Structure 1
């Protein structure tokens, strides 16, 4: 499928997710939710999202749901594209923001931002990937993770491209002005 037919201009929802004690989050780079970024056709597979991400430099991809416990990554940013279903996801820890993700939405999670699936439809499936195929770590908001996690988060480079829109797009508008 042609990229022009798959990718659409999304409605952007962004949130700056501040440190909350247990989770470092990322008060510098906002969480980005692209509502309706992918116009998926009935015969599309998850490869459509993977190819878009890979074409923009995001690889080391996976397909699954989102864990039902708070976790974050200190060594990389993460992007996800919703292939089917819907999920209510909390970002930032117990008192964080809750966002409903639906088929075709994409999210860009800055390093350090906690995320957890609160509930989802039985058919919920998303594709995740990382800038330049970076390896991800798993952190759980434990006291002993800090301050090393804070140092790792500060060292994560900005991605070269937006995972959906490439050299243009919301990531450049929202993250490069904050750096």
Structure 2
């Protein structure tokens, strides 16, 4: 695991939560792969967390593609897995689609969302900022309605990323995702 106090990386401080989601209404979620929440993926007081998440994601082959918030409407990505690094503030995010599970995330946390996982910003505090990254070679899309059978098959066939976006080759992606397949 990576320990680099200069950038706020301290794998020993990170705790993980993982949970499965069932399909819900028009949101497919992911029937094979769990959502993973990384608590304290980065130390919250370690400086520029957005830049630190970008360095971390890039290093682990999940190139960062944007800095912003989370959309305040229910949506999912069918063409890419997604990691969201919370760079500033805190928020409640609905995961799983309308009526889904509400999770609270704070600066330094990260969410690993397998393709198909519904998510929506419910509320936030302070200047909420997120860094979004995707596995090398995957391009995100936005869906707000049910997938066709062909789109669902393409989502289910997405390749597994070679490395965990936070802990590289030793992280929970390997433990929770690769063993789930």
C-alpha displacement of 1:45: 4.9
2:79 alignment counterpart: 75
| 1:60–1:135 CA contact under 8 A, matched in 2 | no
C-alpha displacement of 1:146: 2.2
Structure 1 stretches of 5 or more lacking a match?
none
What TM-score does the superposition give when structure 2 sets the normalisation length? 0.91
C-alpha displacement of 1:96: 1.2
Write the deviation string for residues 26-72 of structure 1: whole angstroms up to 9, x where unpaired. Answer: 12100000011101445325211100000000114210000000100
| 1:60–1:134 CA contact under 8 A, matched in 2 | no
What TM-score does the superposition give when structure 1 sets the normalisation length? 0.92
2:171 alignment counterpart: 169
Spell out the pairing of 1:1-179 with structure 2 (5 A cutoff).
4-5=4-5, 6-8=8-10, 9=12, 10-41=14-45, 43-140=47-144, 142-143=145-146, 145-179=147-181
Structure 2 stretches of 5 or more lacking a match?
none
- Give the match's secondary structure for 1:73: coil
Summarize the Cα distance change of 1:165–1:45 in structure 2 as closer, same or farther, 3 Å threshold.
closer
